[in-house]
Structure 1
Amino acid sequence: MKYVLIVAGGKGLRMGTELPKQFLPIGGKPVLMRTLEAFYTYNSEIQLILVLPHNQQDYWKQLCREYHFSLPHVVADGGETRFHSVKNGLALVNTPGLVGVHDGVRPFVSQEVISRCYDLAAEKKAVIPVIDVVETVRHLDGEGSVTVNRDDYKLVQTPQVFDVELLKQAYNQSYTPHFTDDASVVEALGVPVALTVGNRENIKITTPFDLKIATVLLDSCSI
């Protein structure tokens, strides 16, 4: 069985809007709907679990009616942090298999990346997509800074895909602020995480600039 937790807890603060960023339209359709569609296109039998703050769920239902959005999915309550949101979503995963965790505001993940993450996770148990760092990177050192080798670093994307039992075991740990993504939670068990190549278009839409980029990407991506 394959699952994906679509985690959408944004409040729109960095976007500068009252409307949470996951509900903003790109190309006439809310971002979040496009994200769900990407995984349904990958596999129409995948179990879609949307993790959304409780106080946003009525609005989501309203949007589904307005846009005639009928992809089968279930909704879990978002938590105090991303860690707690994922843990709530995992509570709805009740059979063995593979589970991905994906940011609700990354609608441009490619079909190739989704497929590769799930296929590799079947073997490696824990897989995350990454892309190269193309800018020069400096490390803050006291009051100064030094250039570091950017080839030693990668930028992490989602979906991060895991064996179901492994991820459930990882999320039984107590929360710490060092858990910045699912891979860091799994690594706290001492389990290695495999890397695979992501796609650069798979941006996280969090600022007005990102929204402008998204409208351009929409014209060149088949979503």
Structure 2
Amino acid sequence: MTKYAVIVAGGTGTRMGSAVPKQFMLLNGKPVLLHTIDTFLRAYADLQIILVLPAPFEEQGKQLILQATTPSRIQMVLGGATRFHSVQNGLKKINEASVIFVHDGVRCLVTEALIRRCYEQTLLKGNAIPAVAVNDSIRMMEGNKTKVVDRSKLLAVQTPQTFRSNIILSAFGQPYNEAFTDEATVAEAAGHEIFMIEGEKENIKITLPADLLIAEQLSRKA
């Protein structure tokens, strides 16, 4: 089946405390976002990438695409006001039956194995949402007090969140809602059952400076 990856890279560097957005920072001499792109290109020879970037970084995006292993399989669109609108802009480029991955551009340690497992489950169940168990103790605020939460019932959700096109394209036809924290919540709000799949602990999201250091160490072990 035709495959698309909508890779969303909307960061502006605020939490990294840098003038360079995290997706363009170097990880072992290569931009973070380029690590992500090249992994998806390797996963399937027929996969097409739709790269979603903020308007101020359009030129950097064009230059980055030229560095990818197969630039001809990548097109770029500009993002929107929220993640929902950015993903929606990317999905507008797809008008055929397909399997669609939606991935955080700064989850640069995603593996080809996870991408393929998400694809295979999506063919069977319609979607695949990777997640990992929560290891930390968790407490929930209730007014001025906290109470412990049973972490055995919690999952930390990752990407690529993967769907058959008929599910995700129609789901993103809904009006925006602040409760839409990821693609799974959008699909669930449209009435679709969500199916989890085992994620990878190393599939971290680069958000803070320490995350980049951790990613450097993990990538050297791969």
Please state which band the TM-score falls in when normalised by the shorter chain: over 0.9
C-alpha contact 2:129 2:195 (8 A) present in aligned 1: yes
Give 1:165's aligned residue.
Answer: 166
Deviation at 1:89, TM superposition (A): 0.3
User: 3-state SS of the aligned residue for 1:3?
Assistant: strand
1:96: Cα distance to partner?
A: 0.2
- 1:54 Cα offset (Å): 2.1
What is the DSSP-based 3-state SS (H/G/I as helix, E as strand, rest coil) of the residue aligned with 1:80? coil
The equivalences for 1:177-216 within 5 A come to 177-216=178-217
Please report how far the alpha carbon of residue 64 of structure 1 lies from its aligned counterpart in structure 2 after TM superposition.
Answer: 4.5
| Partner of residue 19, structure 2 | 18
Question: Structure 1 residues 5 and 64 mapped into 2: Cα distance closer, same or farther (>3 Å)?
Answer: closer
SS of aligned partner of 2:129: strand
Distance 1:68 1:76 in 2: 17
Q: Which secondary structure state, in structure 2, belongs to the residue aligned with residue 11 of structure 1?
A: coil
Calculate the TM-score normalised by the size of structure 1: 0.95
Q: Measure, in 2, the Cα distance between the counterparts of 1:102 and 1:64.
A: 17
Residue of structure 2 equivalent to 1:97? 98
Q: Measure, in 1, the Cα distance between the counterparts of 2:179 and 2:68.
A: 40
> How far apart in 2 are the matches of 1:188 and 1:126?
14
What is the percentage of aligned positions where both structures have the same residue? 42
Code of the aligned partner of 2:136: E
CA drift of 1:60 comes to 2.1
Corresponding residue of 1:148:
149
Specify the alignment match of 1:83 in structure 2: 84
Report deviation, 1:27. 0.6
- C-alpha distance 40-70 of structure 1, shift in aligned 2 (>3 A): closer
Post-superposition CA distance 1:163-194 (Å, at most 9, x none): 10110110000001100000000000121100
Unaligned runs of 5+ in 1: none
Matched to 2:5, the amino acid is V
Shift of residue 124, structure 1, vs aligned partner:
1.1
2:41, 2:69 within 8 Å by CA — same for their partners in 1?
A: no
What RMSD over aligned residues (CA atoms) do the two structures have, in Å? 1.2
SS of corresponding position for 1:145? strand
1:91-113 Cα shifts (integer Å, max 9, x gaps)? 11121011010000001112221
Q: Which whole-Å CA distance do the structure 2 matches of 1:69 and 1:117 have between them?
A: 22
